[in-house]
Structure 1
Amino acid sequence: MGLIRGKKSLKCIFIRYILYFGLATILLITVYLFLFTIMIENHIILPANYSEQKLEENNSAILKVDKVNKNLIPEGCNYGVYNKGGNMLYGNFTVKQSEEAWTAIKNNQNNIFGDRFYKAFYRKKDICIVQYSIKTQFNSPLLRKYLLNAGSFGVVLFVLLFVGEVVLLSVVFARYISKEMKILIEVSDNIKRKDLNFEPKHSSIREIEEVIDSLNDMKNALKESLENQWDIEKSRKNQISALAHDIKTPLTIIKGNAELIKESSTEAYNIKCNDYILKSADEIQKYLRLLIDMTKSEDMLILKPAEIETKVFFKKIVDKEKALTTEKNLELINNVENIPDFFYADEELLYRAIMNVISNAIEYSPKYGKLIFKICGCEKVLEFVIEDSGNGFSKEDLKSAAEQFYRGDKSRNSKNHYGMGLFITNSFIKLHGGFMELSNSEEIGGARVVLKIPLDISNK
């Protein structure tokens, strides 16, 4: 932020441009007037009243000379000598010009149409009328012939120089802004190409620097997001690889026991082999179910809510719970509190969500420990509470246990735990519009998981 404060704002840059433009214009006018004055002093350009001054200087000569000649008439002027009756005797007027000149003098007008002036010299026998203009002229006849008069030429030249000044300053300003914008474009192009390891250049313009800072923050956030995604994908591949490897074990057992059944004639031995086959098949089924869940996301699942009878659903979970806890001889504490007769949910997804938590609770409970499962009705929310008597959640577990592939205490090395149970459960509960709470049980000292869903999601 301190670096940004030291940058120039676009407002200041525009003001500076306007000041430069104003100063350049003043300088242009000054130089133009100076050069114009020098050219007049050196008779390169004749002043606007040059013809008038020359006529004044030649006044006596024009009145006294026997015949007016063009040497007495300033260059650029036309003249005509008339008799007293208004007939032109000689001169370089055209017929039309001679008529206009005589009419102007006769009517005491020394100006016609604003750019033609007339001066009459009343001589003894005739009248000399001279037509002249009051405007700057080039002294050179060649320049007068091929260029505009000096005044008009000067205006055109000034306009061209002024336009040149505007274009030059605009180009300089545009190049400066373009140079700064290229820094911004370079940053955005790098992000577009997903080249996120670059260090952005800095701009001297505050507003552009702010955009660069925002893009840099976006780059860092995108980089972190992509790295997390890559880590998840890497972890997913590792877990799928581990699952595929673990599936080999029960398959080997099935194959081996099937061959033993084929070769053996002892019924008791066959029954034992058959038990191994069934257990291994259940294990494969469990691995495949986990593999399917790992390939799904909330967006891929479709919620199919239906009316569920609460007590029947409770009994279904309790029966499964009893079957799973036989080996560890856990003390089961099952209870219902203030439950409604019916609620709405996707029974299959909710059942799998609860059984994921119960399976984890059984896995981490010691033999002869305790396991609590209860359903509570609270206002418009239905709660499913599972508590075990294991070691409970660590601080890190409470923070990250619901994340995909989080495995908690790696020293446990449980092949049945792939860091997916609580993640899948949380996904299913969120799909119902509910949420999951993790804590440690005050009653039996282990982990405590509470799943909350709305009682009626039929309109979800």
Structure 2
Amino acid sequence: MEVSSHSSERKSTKLRTLFLRYLAVFCAGTIALTMIHALIFVGCMRTGMILPANYAEKQVMEASAAVAAGQLPELDSSYTFYKYARYTLDGQLLEHSMTAKQSEKVWKQLENRNSSYRFPYNYTKKTIQQEVYIFKYSVSAQFSDPLLRNLVPSAELFFFVVFCIAFLGGSALLASSFGRKLARKMNGLQEATNLIQQQNLDFTIQYSAIDEIDQVLHSMDQMKHALKQSLESQWKLERSRRDQISALAHDVKTPLTIVRGNVELLSETSLTEEQKEYTDYITESIRQMDAYMKSLIEITKTESLTSLQLATVDLKGFVRKIEGQIHALAVVKELTPYVIADGLPDTIHADPELLERALMNIISNAVDQAPKYSELTLSVEFSQKRIRFCVVDKGPGFSSEALTMATEQFYMGDSARRSNGHYGMGLYIARFIARLHGGELNVANDETTGGGKVTIELPGKTDVDVHQ
């Protein structure tokens, strides 16, 4: 994957500069928002939409003067900004625009004083001749429209709430913008990290034009080059090691062939019983050494598999091919093979040669372990977007140790399932191929037969829907 490089001529800035720019925008926005609210508030007062804070107090003073002149205050007028109650000197309620309960409460509240304040109202008491008037009003700016005044008793509080909402909304938008921009600047860092984690080192660092981030990216670029050189050196060393082992294994086969031929010639001559015994030892040792050499060659071939040759595989045709090979292997021990493959997709994406090799390693082991005249089962199923190949035999099964160690190289600890000609590579290679496909190999004992049960489970990347 190629990541394009940023132009080195682009002006670079510091992270604190970017932060200060957003801070300046935040401060300017807050000041502008405050000024806009103030101008709207003043404009509403000048047009009469909002009445000044002392408007209700002036009405109370006018009502007090009217009462002193022998007139009664207005009762429940939509343009009256105060409430009142009229009492006798001993506190008996005569008339009121407040509720009766409020009237009793304010009488007790002002029984020994002439004024009081309890948020958000002021209370004042006027004694005129033989009657007492108590007025309730608010010293705050209010809307002149009765409907707005009932919905929002305080215009100042309304504008404050609107300011807070606008301030928080603007702050959230600005913070979101800053976060998105910083995330875009960090994209190059995140992408470089992901590519290095995937061991894809053939890419160019994308710089962000932010000094602090670019310093980290530059360090990652140097680390990437150093890691690439180290990995290339390691890969070359590993390739050389495998080639040397493979060459050595092939070279050793030549003298082994000579030794085997001479031993066979020697065995055709007249030998004493002791000499025949020694000759048999040599023959057996040659056979074992030849098997070891084959295993070494198999290891080098397996470890050289670093990538898959994925193709669209006709799954049903692939299963039929495996089934034919199972029948060929089963003839030797007169086994009865069963292949169960229902509900499969038409195709899967896999490396057909490697997948066949893995399955035949498992099946070959199962045939070796299965008792003569017994059954051998291969089941293939597709569920939850996973494809599973399961081989079950009726042999002795795996020991508890083998259940965890059977897929290791050269594991020979399970004597119950050990057979001549096998040196612990079959399941190791099968697991290696399964993991190359992004899957896994599982070893278990079948609950029904008691024999070995080996399953390869792969991601079921298909081209078409499953046909039941």
What TM-score, normalized to structure 1? 0.48
Bigger CA radius of gyration: 1
